[in-house]
Amino acid sequence: MDVVGMLLSRLLISLKMFWIRHFYWRPLINQTFRPQQVQEKLLQKILDRNKQTDFGKTYGFAAIKNYYDYRQALPVQTYETLRCLIERQEGTRSSCLNAGQPVLYAQTSGTTGRPKYIPIFPKTLDQYRRSQHCAAYAIYSALPRAYAGKLLAVVSPAIEGYLPTGTPYGSMSGLIYRSMPQFVTASYVIPMQVLELDDYALKYHLIAVFALAEQNITMMATANPSTLLKIVEIINARWDTLIQEVAIGNTYGLVARPQRSEMLKTLNYKKGKIVFADIWPNLQVVTTWTGGNCSVLIPSLQKQLSSMTRIVEMGYLSSEFRGSLTIDAVGNRSILAIHENFFEFVERDRWEDKSREFLTVSALQTGKQYYVFVTTQNGLFRYFIDDIIEVEGWYNHTPTIRFVQKGKGVVNLTGEKLYENQVIHAVCAMMQRLKIEPHFFIMLGNPDLQQYTLYIATEPFTDASAILEKYLSDQNIEFAAKRQSGRLRQTIVRFVSGAAADAYKKYCIEQGQRESQFKLQKLQSVYDCGFDFENYEIDRYAA
């Protein structure tokens, strides 16, 4: 780009940001002074819109005048309690759960092995667009040079397939990708046709090629930092092949860039092992998840970056809803998304010991952790997602939050959200196939290694990992995708003696569990399980 073009581009970005500040940012900031009022108004709006649906009539939405009425009328919901209404509405095109008809669905893994399809409406897309404009402005206002160059964004496709009815489904990350301001999307480095490839090995190879071909990347964006670490792993493993492809171009739209290739050759000669800071010295911002299990990867990611590059929290996001919006890109403060969804909370300990008291936004306290229940504008009512957040502080009168972890029975290393019952179903299928009857099994997820290990009390058998992963992939589409892409390492199966079961139970009781209430949690994070199963190993197979 010549100097005139560069100046024009910066002027257009400045004008667009001025417009965003006036029409989107300021109204959002004004709402943070009165979050309870905003929440109550939003709840009534959602109920009024859906009072004539089958679901609204069943629970008397028309008679609900306030939050207390709502809490009394409607029990907590999960996707499985809503699934039949979502499916019936899609099949009959009648107002079963929502007053409007979805134009697409966000697909994510379900607890039963069947995918969840979250309804998305035209207003939902507008809502995402407004919030993404605010997120872009938050970065621009603090770190304007982030938009001076190109953006390396890695997401799943917005459209991944079609239901039998013809309605498309896809990923939330892809929808958010499409919702960014036009001046941002114009700077994307990776073509959508590459991101839509089913061949994960080819896709990540091409992502690395297109990224290397661009000299002036100033921002990177992807939900999980493991994606970026995967890219740098590929770059170092295939350096010569990649820079040769940069020189000659490829059939996926990469124009030959021999000068860039020669520059990279010199860089490799000087530095040996390459990091992002070597390849893209102008990189200003990396926006990704920094909380939960992703936090353990942040130190590795920081080693790839120069001291001037900031890691900005992407916000608490799920396929079901947006939980927060990062409003301070320097301090990484994310406000609760009071403008998008109605929120309820139960203190973590009180939910787990069943002394539950539901709270609204005005009753939250700094430093406390809460389970989240959400009523969205796209048809999820008092929805329990099994997420735990912590209140870090306040922005005006609105809480700033961070995602802590999934609740019990779920482990999420790279975005796969593996559930305990999925592990149980997979192991049971493996047992049935092999005609074995293990006395005990437990699976542990290790965020540091991005890997699961199954400890099972049975006679050793070969191909254990391959067999187990087949059934886990059948149960969880995200697990399959993360394994295919290499973001999850190969699952390990380790065989232990039958004595492991009694020893583990004894350990748990010594840690405070009541023997009469002892229940083996078959899927855990290694951080939540301090027992050393290696002392009981009799053999192991990793393949």
CB 194 within 8 A of CB 219: no
Give residues with Cβ within 8 angstroms of 310, minimum separation 6. 143, 284, 285, 286, 329, 330
Residues (pLDDT < 70) of the chain are 1-6, 110-113, 179, 183, 269, 512-518, 539-543
Q: What is the rounded distance in angstroms from the CA atom of residue 380 to the CA atom of residue 373? A: 10
Confidence at residue 6, expressed as pLDDT on a 0 to 100 scale: 67
Instruction: Assess contact for 139 and 180: CB atoms under 8 A.
Output: no
What is the distance, to the nearest Å, from the Cα of residue 390 to the centroid of all Cα atoms in its chain?
Answer: 17
Digit-coded pLDDT (tens) for 232-257:
999 999 999 999 999 999 999 999 99
Find out whether 9 and 129 touch, Cβ atoms under 8 Å.
no
108: left (phi > 0), else alpha (psi -120 to 50), else beta? beta
- Residue 103 corresponds to which tokens in the numbers above? 């134009």
> Counting every residue, how long is the chain?
543
What's the token pair of residue 137?
A: 């402005």
User: Is residue 165 classed exposed, middle or buried when 0-12, 13-18 and 19+ CB atoms within 10 A define those classes?
Assistant: exposed
Q: Which residue has the tokens 């991005």?
A: 450
Domain residue extents for the chain: 34-120+316-406, 123-313, 410-541
- Full DSSP string of 15-29: HHHHHHIIIIIHHHH
C-alpha dihedral, 206 to 212 to 218 to 220, nearest 10° = 30
| 325, two tokens | 């919006």
Q: Are 401 and 389 in contact (CB under 8 A)?
A: yes
In this prediction, what percent of the chain has a pLDDT beyond 90?
Answer: 67
Give the whole-angstrom CA distance, residue 422 versus residue 472: 7
**Cα distance between residue 51 and residue 102, in whole Å:** 17
Amino acid at 77: Q
Would you give the end-to-end CA distance of the chain in angstroms? 51
Angle at the Cα of 73 from the Cα atoms of 69 and 77, rounded to 5 degrees: 120
- Please state, in angstroms and as integers, the Cα–Cα distance from residue 58 to each residue in 97, 101, 440, following that order: 10, 19, 44
d(CA 212, CA 246): 7
Residue with tokens 């995200």: 478
- Count of CB atoms situated within 10 Å of the CB of 23: 11
Q: For 492, phi and psi rounded to 5 degrees?
A: -100, 140
Query: To 10 degrees, the CA torsion angle through 352, 356, 361, 365?
Result: -60
Please give the helix or strand (H or E) that residue 372 lies within, else none: strand 369-375
Give the SS3 label for residue 370: strand
The Cα–Cα gap between 496 and 499 comes to 8
| Residues contacting 519, CB < 8 A, separation 6+ | none
pTM: 0.84
How far apart, in Å, are the Cα atoms of 354 and each of 121, 232, 351, 403? 35, 45, 5, 22
* Cβ pair 56, 50 in contact under 8 A: yes
Distance of CA 75 to the CA centre of its chain: 27
pLDDT of residue 409: 78
| Measured distance CA(66)–CA(62) in Å, rounded | 11
Q: What is the pLDDT of residue 3?
A: 62
Alpha carbon distance 327, 222 (integer Å): 18
